[in-house]
A and B are shown apart, each in its own frame.
Chain A
Amino acid sequence: QKEVEQDPGPLSVPEGAIVSLNCTYSNSAFQYFMWYRQYSRKGPELLMYTYSSGNKEDGRFTAQVDKSSKYISLFIRDSQPSDSATYLCAWASGNTPLVFGKGTRLSVIA
């Protein structure tokens, strides 16, 4: 079983829609959960990170973690064309390098 599973998409939504991006993981040792955003022809950049189960909000973005189900989500409210990018979930545990999902490509259509 792969450590991290993420639907690659592509996902296409109209402007203003609520977007839900999801990842599942299998390693119970994971402690920190992150979302990176990668625009075309750019490197990924950290969007949000969280430690505990529950929700964390930052503007139009909400990261949700369910440790009991080993499931994390990223919600984007009022999506904009500028949100069009690839979104990668990532996990950290102890002193080992981050484990990344394969990324979901999102297109927000004006």
Chain B
Amino acid sequence: DVKVTQSSRYLVKRTGEKVFLECVQDMDHENMFWYRQDPGLGLRLIYFSYDVKMKEKGDIPEGYSVSREKKERFSLILESASTNQTSMYLCASSTPQSGGNEKLFFGSGTQLSVL
């Protein structure tokens, strides 16, 4: 089974801190994604990557950056955490399919609270 592992299940940080969320997948997937999920707003794409050292902005990249130095690892960075970044963060991976029929595999999520 594909496994997408997020380093922390719960995280509490203070405003202004630099926060690293780590994600590792074990199925040699090319594509990796970071979403945040908020009540009433659903899943929103922050950043994604189709290859090592590549990154693309999603719908809400402001206040975030990412790093993909190795194929299996995709990190989300909050440069200076703010309270409006309190959310559930979900990492996902997939193998590209022609026509866009890719199936995403998600991690269990990191619930981040910024105080």
- B109 contacts across to A, CB distance below 8 A: 41-43
Chain B residues near A (Cβ < 8 Å): 4, 33, 40-43, 45, 48, 58, 90, 92, 96, 99-109
**Residues 31 to 89 of chain A near chain B (Cβ within 8 Å):** 31-32, 34, 36, 41-46, 49, 51, 88
Query: Is A1 an interface position by the 8 A CB rule?
Result: no
State the majority secondary structure of interface residues on A.
Answer: loop
Q: What's the minimum C-beta distance from B112 to chain A, rounded to whole angstroms?
A: 14
Q: What's the minimum C-beta distance from B50 to chain A, rounded to whole angstroms?
A: 8
For A, the interface residue count at a CB cutoff of 8 angstroms equals 26
Q: What's the minimum C-beta distance from A5 to chain B, rounded to whole angstroms?
A: 11
**Residues 12 to 31 of chain A near chain B (Cβ within 8 Å):** 31
Chain A residues near B (Cβ < 8 Å): 6, 8, 31-32, 34, 36, 41-46, 49, 51, 88, 92-98, 100-103
Q: What's the minimum C-beta distance from A44 to chain B, rounded to whole angstroms?
A: 5
- A42 near B108 with CB under 8 A, answer yes
- B99 near A32 with CB under 8 A, answer yes
